[in-house]
Structure 1
Amino acid sequence: MDPTEFWEQHYEKATSESSGRPTAVLEKFVTDRTSGAALELGCGKGDDAVWLAKNGWAVTAIDISATAMGYARANAVRNGVLEKITFDQRDLMTDFPTGSFALVTAQFLESPVVFARNSIINRASRLVAPGGLLLATSHGSVPSGSWEKPDKCYPKPKEALENLSLDLREWTQICVDNLERFAKGPNGEEGMVIDTVIALERKG
């Protein structure tokens, strides 16, 4: 299925309500950083963008889905931070942003349809300013309600980093690891899941 069509259908079936909380990894690694310009790849319903804006960041939030953009914009309005977020609907496979950012974040930028995640994050890494943070999180275990097969094997953290094809001489590795967190599934299921976290700071 065409990626735009897939994600439009996904969000059209979903409620506009969100958790109201940022991604745990984003909060963990960004809370103590000096705010600046941030680029979010795959903003969904906007909770991460709203949290960043509330903490002083000027956010460019990208998503392929117009419906998701509408949900995220309404989220920003409810939280009084609309003027701090630029919502930018685009397909990162064919249309890429420009600029320089103190933070580039890609939280669970994964898809069951054709999607060149590694090359997109590689390209996004070039927009990280000296001293800035590249933060990419992916699933390290199958979460509840996932479209993945229950026995799917995910890359180990070092393999996930290698797959991004970065020149590691340009980066300080803050975290390349699997982190556990407690999560609730779409039907109220509770349990521990594993996140594969890559946090890199560009050398000045």
Structure 2
Amino acid sequence: MTTEQFWDERYGQSDRIWSGDPNAALIRETAGLTPGTVLELGCGEGADAIWLAAQGWRVTASDVSRVALARAAEHAAAEGVGDRIDWQRHDLAATFPAGHYDLVTASFLYSPDLPRTEILRTAAAAVTPGGTLLIIGHGPWPDWHQGPHPDIELPTPQQVLTDLDLPTWTVLTCEEYERTQTGPAGQPAVRIDNTLKLHRPTD
């Protein structure tokens, strides 16, 4: 099964698999940024891209799943921001959106056999001088997580920073934090996530 088939099958299992709400860390970390051009990697059903477009950003949103992209485009049109978003299908292990952007963001960019570090280095190269790179990820699998744990590495933000090797960039945020989500029995449960936010120098 290809990566595209894997995700098309997952998105095809229901009409919506994510909440439809923008990521709280994205909202927090983009506060104060002047809207310009933004590239979102792994946009899924489009909640973050739609929110960014509503804030005035010109969005390029990429995902490997055609099912997810079609669904995201429908949601964007319903919210009246479809003309501000360019939806692009990319298997990021093979192709990457062209251009440079004021903001490049990747939230929970995980997939089996995904060369995540290499993709994030390419993402950094796509940030225009003076721009921002924002990477939001998961901490370790919590004890209450049910089912087999996917064979996916969940690095700390400091590990991501080390792997990116961007010594001249300014670290704006590098932290772990707790958030509450619905657990396996429907009760509130705590999950640890993390954020890395970097500013690219202008020269």
- Runs in 1 of length 4+ with deviation above 4 angstroms? 143-148
Task: Give the deviation of 1:109 after TM superposition.
Answer: 0.3
Flag the 1:188–1:75 CA change in 2: closer, same or farther, 3 A.
farther
Query: Equivalent residues in 2 for 1:1-204 (5 A)?
Result: 1-16=1-16, 18-111=18-111, 113-142=112-141, 149=149, 154-164=154-164, 166-169=165-168, 171-185=169-183, 188-204=186-202
Amino acid at match of 1:11: Y
C-alpha distance in structure 1 between counterparts of 2:92 and 2:173, whole Å: 25
Task: Give the deviation of 1:97 after TM superposition.
Answer: 1.4
Count how many residue pairs are aligned between Structure 1 and Structure 2.
200
The CA deviation string for residues 127-171 of structure 1, in whole angstroms up to 9 with x for no partner, is 101221100111103267676639x9843331222123x3221x1
Taking every aligned residue pair, what percent have the same amino acid on both sides?
Answer: 38
C-alpha distance in structure 1 between counterparts of 2:66 and 2:184, whole Å: 23
C-alpha distance in structure 1 between counterparts of 2:163 and 2:44, whole Å: 24
Conserved? CA contact 1:142–1:148, under 8 Å: no
The CA deviation string for residues 14-65 of structure 1, in whole angstroms up to 9 with x for no partner, is 3237523211111010022100000000000000000000000000000000
C-alpha distance in structure 2 between counterparts of 1:44 and 1:153, whole Å: 20
The CA deviation string for residues 1-21 of structure 1, in whole angstroms up to 9 with x for no partner, is 321111111111132375232
For the aligned residue pairs, the C-alpha RMSD in angstroms reads: 2.2
C-alpha distance in structure 2 between counterparts of 1:82 and 1:117, whole Å: 28
C-alpha distance in structure 2 between counterparts of 1:197 and 1:106, whole Å: 10
C-alpha distance in structure 2 between counterparts of 1:156 and 1:102, whole Å: 25
Gap runs ≥5 in structure 1 = none
Task: Give the deviation of 1:190 after TM superposition.
Answer: 1.7
Amino acid at match of 1:139: H
Conserved? CA contact 1:183–1:191, under 8 Å: yes
C-alpha distance in structure 1 between counterparts of 2:146 and 2:59, whole Å: 28
Flag the 1:85–1:146 CA change in 2: closer, same or farther, 3 A.
farther
Flag the 1:185–1:56 CA change in 2: closer, same or farther, 3 A.
farther
SS of alignment partner, residue 168 of structure 1: coil
Amino acid at match of 2:155: P
Flag the 1:72–1:28 CA change in 2: closer, same or farther, 3 A.
same
C-alpha distance in structure 2 between counterparts of 1:142 and 1:15, whole Å: 26
Amino acid at match of 2:117: N
* TM-score normalised by structure 2 residue count: 0.90
* TM-score normalised by structure 1 residue count: 0.90
